[in-house]
Chain A
Amino acid sequence: MNNASLLPIMALLPFLGALVPGLMIRAGRTACATFTAVPTILALVMLGLCAPDVFRGEVLQIEFEWLPALGLSVSFFLDGLGLLFAGMILFVGLLITLYARFYLSGDDPAGQFFTYLLLFQGAMLGIVLSNNILLLLIFWELTSLSSFLLIGYWTHLPEGRQGARMALTVTGMGGLSMIAGMLILGNIAGSYELTDILAAGDAIKSSDYYLPALLLILGGAFTKSAQFPFHFWLPHAMAAPTPVSAYLHSATMVKAGVFLMARMWPALAGTDAWFYAVGTVGLITMVLGALIALFKDDLKALLAFSTVSHLGLLTMMLGFGTEAAAIGAVFHIINHLTFKAALFMTAGIVDHEAHTRDIKRLGGLRHLMPITFVIAVIAGLSMAGIPLFNGFLSKELMLEEAAHTDWRGSHYAVPILATLGALLSVAYSFRFISHTFFGPVRDDYPAKPHDPNFGMWAAPGLLVVLVLLIGIFPQATVGPLVELAATAVVGHELHHWHDLKIWHGVTPALIMSAIAVLGGLILLALHRPLERLWNAVPRPEAKVIFDHVVGWAVAGSDWIAHKTHNGAISRYLAIFVVSTLALGAIAASGGGLAPATRALLPVPPLAWIGFLLLVVAAIAVVLLHRERFLSLILISIVGLGVSGGFVYLSAPDLALTQISVETVTIMLMLLALHFLPKSTPAESGIFRRVRDGAIALGVGGAVASLTFAFLLRDFSSISEFHLTQSKVGGGGTNVVNVILVDFRGYDTFGEIIVLGIAGLIIYALMHALLDGPAARRLRNWEFTQERSRDRHPMLMVIATRVMLPMTAMVGVYIFLRGHNEPGGGFVAGLIIAIALLMQYMASGFGWAQERQRIEYHAMIGWGVAIAGLTGTAAWLFGKPFLTSSFGYFHIPPIEEFELATAMAFDLGVFLTVLGAVMLMLYSLSRIARYAGETVNTAAMDYDPSQGIRETTEEER
């Protein structure tokens, strides 16, 4: 088996594993932690299997297609850089799991924590293994999301929530910027495969779009890696539990930005723009982060700003764009991981045992916590860059490289600032050690500090052993790995590789390093007066600025939302139609309108009459709309007029549908009007009326002229296809019906679902409404008019009984002939609904309800189910969803007839329509019940046959 096939499994393992701890939250912390370690260990083993191949110089690759049309594929690759990062992520993940097991208290939901941790680990692994930049972006966003969950893990702490939000906002915005940059990059390179992009480095650098792509991608990398001026989110993310901080801010999350810059190095680095953007930002971040770190009293805040500073160092090294700097950066990534993770865990131990992280309240812990003290000293000296510790080696490489770097012609700017950064770094590292562990033992710690149990110091202990091993035997321990990863960063064989060693002779770097150490010690001695000065100088507070910006954004969005969504439907309609009108006007002014190809047909007097009737009725609705009953009548005239128009224009199907829809609508509206005020109060002023009138006329005119323009021109449309294929392909001569149930069956299927949902929503809304204040209003409803005493007149009841079978017959007839002649399930459903509506109106809902065998909800459900099953039945024959088939049958006594599967589909439509309409009626009757209507048990008010029956029984 090829080892490359392990890559997707490796990337997927943490996600699969993430399901487990969350589910076994009750099994306790140990079980959760164990099951978190399992996928991590498995992935590490797989990585170990792949490692020999990578060390031989191979690049493992595997690709599966996902959305080839978008250039998105699930493709992974593993080279030296990926191996280094994947190893770090998994190795530190394992240590963090162990540490977190002992760090979390019994009250914390440990299952959740480990689930988030694995999600995050999977996202990070995905980033470093992806070979497709779109896939990489997906994982990139996943790290933002999962780190949000991790940082805000202690949801009861406001700092935790705010820190998590800030981290998500900043890194999420960066992610958006990176999406844009990556898309541009993929466009230049002509492929979204990372290996292709890296190979196209020269083409990318010479492209006009190089600069925007570079800046956008750097926007993503800088926000993730907390580079100036986006560094402010990282310290606030320190509100997270310490294992999270140790994981996110030493090995993973913030290194993702650095990883990306290293990954893109062959494609983007080496230009002036790269040098000045990346190198300068890195330099500023390094010095600024170190300066702030010196004056932080919170141990974790100090470490956070030192992380910012070290990330700046890495960024700067990558920005130099030279091979030696790339080697130094890769080496420092490893070293920073070891000492910083150890330091974070140490800070966590101090916090855990002493119940404070405030340096001002600590001191003298070396006697109380000797093991922790040793760990902190080793890691701290490494951070300071003292010889024999690994931090020294990579810092030497950095200073060496800085000594040779010119910045805008100046030989001194970069070396001096780099030395300053190193000097400040020495100062805060020593401060961390001396102010926490040295000095007299105090008697006012919030808790009695002591060394933690083995489980808690095992992970940092192991890390500082690595610090020492790498520091003393650099080439033997990590030399080959650094060489391999650096080769992957620069994208070709290294020309200037020297084995890593401690002593290089007296070089400029050594002198700068000595200055840094001495200067750092002096600064520490002067810390007290310097701190007073620092506190006296005003500084911009990033969180305040951030909160203000967020506040403005929220207020702005609120303003827009409230202006456009003020709850009045007229406002939405106005916005919608005016913008459509504007777009239409722009389109019309484009001048692309072909000259008319058809002449106007003669207009017979009948058409004129119908047209005038429509216009007059429409105007009358506008004038009389405050009288609601009258306007309903007028609306029904418009509906009839439109139906007549359809008949005149040879669209009997539409006419039939229109007329039945009109009937049902008017009936339901009349019933609803019963519970509404009978007239609309005049509320709008003259200005609004004129404005709304102008909008309405404008849109009406636009639609009319658009229609007119269309009718005067010949254009090819899909109608030709429908007309020719209706009989041959769909087996029906009624093209409209064949379109509905066959050609566009999917649409119809969606529409009946929508219709069913609408019916159910009306029912549900009514349910909610009748629990609230509306129910009280209804109970107190005073019918303004005196009500008639005969609610269910005999004549009406008898007539509807007589009509029922006839109407039902018409409905069935319309349904059956639908495929070939005007009709179909929709119209049939409406006709049957009308027949039933009449029964309900004549004899009352209570009486009719008792005689109804099928629940309307069930009817809707059956309708959708039948239509859907008809569609899926096509699968049994290996055809796509909703493929219809038909055949002609001949059973002797009757004529030859046709059966089509579309008919079953139409039955689904029929049932859904019927169910939805009846459910609406039912909802109305519920209102009536609340408004005090009594439930009738008899079919009619006075049944004369009842009297006759009684007399005959008496006579017997």
Chain B
Amino acid sequence: MLSEIFISALLVIGGVFGLVGSYGLVKLRDAMQRLHAPTKATTVGIGGILCASIAIAWLERGVASTHELLITLFLFVTAPVTANFIAKAYMHRNIEAASLPQTETSCGWAGYAPPPGENEPPSGDKSN
């Protein structure tokens, strides 16, 4: 009984966060704002469901299940990369280099200026 309540609570938490994340994706104005919404779903949202899954296997069937940990691991590795790339792509397409604040180092913004230690290549040169 207690375990059922516990599992249900996990499922509800996960579900609510997933819903909030999805709603945010629709509701928020532009891509940079929308980036925040799915983070709710991928962390607590999916996390709740996965915890519930582990709990069911352990408490109800008495089996130690570790698949879920692997899924969590994959999510934790991939989600930041995805978000990072979406942000970069958005900036690349929509934000002028001039409107960005100065960086505190000698190098410019990634994606706008060449990486440290590399000079600006002469433009239009394509001869390898």
Q: Which of B78, B115, B118 contacts A799 (CB 8 A)?
A: B78
Does B113 contact A796, Cβ atoms closer than 8 Å?
A: no
Tell me the bound Cα distance from A790 to B113 in angstroms: 8
Does B110 contact A793, Cβ atoms closer than 8 Å?
A: yes
Q: Mark B96-121, 1 if CB is under 8 A from A, else 0.
A: 00000000000000111111111000
Tell me the bound Cα distance from A786 to B94 in angstroms: 12
Q: Which A649-704 residues have C-beta < 8 A from chain B?
A: none
Main SS at interface, chain A: loop
Tell me the bound Cα distance from A530 to B77 in angstroms: 104
Tell me the bound Cα distance from A806 to B69 in angstroms: 12
Does A788 contact B111, Cβ atoms closer than 8 Å?
A: yes
Does B77 contact A790, Cβ atoms closer than 8 Å?
A: no
Residues of chain A lying within 8 A (CB to CB) of residue B6: none
Q: Which B40-97 residues have C-beta < 8 A from chain A?
A: 70, 73-74, 77-78, 80-81, 84-85, 88, 92
Tell me the bound Cα distance from A789 to B115 in angstroms: 8
Does A788 contact B78, Cβ atoms closer than 8 Å?
A: no
Q: Mark A749-783, 1 if CB is under 8 A from B, else 0.
A: 00000000000000000000000000000010000
Q: Which A911-956 residues have C-beta < 8 A from chain B?
A: 932, 934-935, 941-942, 947
Does A788 contact B77, Cβ atoms closer than 8 Å?
A: no
Does B29 have its Cβ within 8 Å of any Cβ on chain A?
no
Given contacts A789-B110, A789-B113, A806-B73, whether A932 and B85 have CB atoms under 8 Å apart is no
Given contacts A788-B111, A789-B113, A790-B115, whether A799 and B81 have CB atoms under 8 Å apart is yes
Does B80 contact A795, Cβ atoms closer than 8 Å?
A: yes
Tell me the bound Cα distance from A96 to B42 in angstroms: 91
Does A802 have its Cβ within 8 Å of any Cβ on chain B?
yes
Chain B residue nearest to A946 in the complex (CB): B117
Tell me the bound Cα distance from A802 to B73 in angstroms: 10
Chain B residue nearest to A934 in the complex (CB): B128
Chain A residue nearest to B80 in the complex (CB): A795
Tell me the bound Cα distance from A932 to B80 in angstroms: 31
Does A647 have its Cβ within 8 Å of any Cβ on chain B?
no
Tell me the bound Cα distance from A465 to B85 in angstroms: 100
Q: Which of B70, B81, B85, B116 contacts A942 (CB 8 A)?
A: B116
Tell me the bound Cα distance from A793 to B77 in angstroms: 15
Given contacts A806-B74, A934-B128, whether A795 and B115 have CB atoms under 8 Å apart is no
Interface size on A, residues (CB 8 A): 18
Tell me the bound Cα distance from A872 to B6 in angstroms: 58
Given contacts A789-B110, A796-B85, A799-B78, whether A942 and B115 have CB atoms under 8 Å apart is yes
Chain B residue nearest to A842 in the complex (CB): B81
Tell me the bound Cα distance from A793 to B127 in angstroms: 24
Q: Which A23-81 residues have C-beta < 8 A from chain B?
A: none
Tell me the bound Cα distance from A796 to B86 in angstroms: 12
Residues of chain A lying within 8 A (CB to CB) of residue B128: 932, 934-935
Does A793 contact B126, Cβ atoms closer than 8 Å?
A: no
Does A803 have its Cβ within 8 Å of any Cβ on chain B?
yes
Residues of chain A lying within 8 A (CB to CB) of residue B115: 789-790, 941-942
Q: B102 to chain A: closest CB distance in Å?
A: 17
Residues of chain A lying within 8 A (CB to CB) of residue B118: 941
Tell me the bound Cα distance from A790 to B110 in angstroms: 6
Q: Which of A779, A786, A802, A942 contacts B77 (CB 8 A)?
A: A802
Does A803 contact B77, Cβ atoms closer than 8 Å?
A: yes
Residues of chain B lying within 8 A (CB to CB) of residue A790: 88, 110-111, 115
Tell me the bound Cα distance from A799 to B111 in angstroms: 18
Residues of chain B lying within 8 A (CB to CB) of residue A799: 77-78, 80-81
Residues of chain B lying within 8 A (CB to CB) of residue A789: 110-115
Tell me the bound Cα distance from A942 to B118 in angstroms: 9
Does A793 contact B78, Cβ atoms closer than 8 Å?
A: no
Q: Mark A797-832, 1 if CB is under 8 A from B, else 0.
A: 001001100100000000000000000000000000
Does A796 contact B114, Cβ atoms closer than 8 Å?
A: no
Q: B80 to chain A: closest CB distance in Å?
A: 7
Tell me the bound Cα distance from A851 to B75 in angstroms: 27
Q: Of A788, A789, A935, which is in contact with the most chain B CB atoms at under 10 Å from its CB?
A: A789
Q: Which of B70, B73, B74, B88 contacts A793 (CB 8 A)?
A: B88
Tell me the bound Cα distance from A116 to B12 in angstroms: 87
Q: B94 to chain A: closest CB distance in Å?
A: 12
Residues of chain B lying within 8 A (CB to CB) of residue A793: 84-85, 88, 110
Chain A residue nearest to B92 in the complex (CB): A788
Does B126 contact A795, Cβ atoms closer than 8 Å?
A: no
Residues of chain A lying within 8 A (CB to CB) of residue B111: 788-790
Q: Mark B18-58, 1 if CB is under 8 A from A, else 0.
A: 00000000000000000000000000000000000000000
Q: B103 to chain A: closest CB distance in Å?
A: 13
Tell me the bound Cα distance from A790 to B92 in angstroms: 11
Tell me the bound Cα distance from A947 to B126 in angstroms: 29
Tell me the bound Cα distance from A10 to B121 in angstroms: 80
Q: A647 to chain B: closest CB distance in Å?
A: 16
Chain A residue nearest to B108 in the complex (CB): A789
Residues of chain B lying within 8 A (CB to CB) of residue A806: 70, 73-74
Residues of chain B lying within 8 A (CB to CB) of residue A932: 126-128
Tell me the bound Cα distance from A941 to B78 in angstroms: 20
Chain A residue nearest to B81 in the complex (CB): A799
Tell me the bound Cα distance from A559 to B117 in angstroms: 65
Does A796 contact B117, Cβ atoms closer than 8 Å?
A: no
Residues of chain B lying within 8 A (CB to CB) of residue A802: 77
Residues of chain A lying within 8 A (CB to CB) of residue B113: 789
Q: B109 to chain A: closest CB distance in Å?
A: 9
Chain B residue nearest to A800 in the complex (CB): B81
Does B84 contact A796, Cβ atoms closer than 8 Å?
A: yes
What are 19 A-to-B residue pairs whose CB atoms are below 8 Å? Answer: A786-B92, A788-B88, A789-B113, A789-B114, A790-B110, A790-B111, A790-B115, A795-B81, A796-B84, A796-B85, A799-B77, A799-B80, A799-B81, A806-B70, A932-B127, A941-B110, A941-B115, A941-B118, A942-B110
Q: What residues of chain A have their CB less than 8 Å away from a CB belonging to chain B?
A: 779, 786, 788-790, 793, 795-796, 799, 802-803, 806, 932, 934-935, 941-942, 947
Q: What residues of chain B have their CB less than 8 Å away from a CB belonging to chain A?
A: 70, 73-74, 77-78, 80-81, 84-85, 88, 92, 110-118, 126-128
| 5 tightest Cβ-Cβ pairs between the two chains A and B | A932-B126, A941-B115, A942-B115, A799-B81, A788-B111
Q: A788-B88, A793-B84 are in contact. List 9 more A-B contacts (CB 8 A).
A: A788-B92, A789-B110, A789-B111, A790-B111, A793-B85, A793-B88, A793-B110, A934-B128, A941-B118
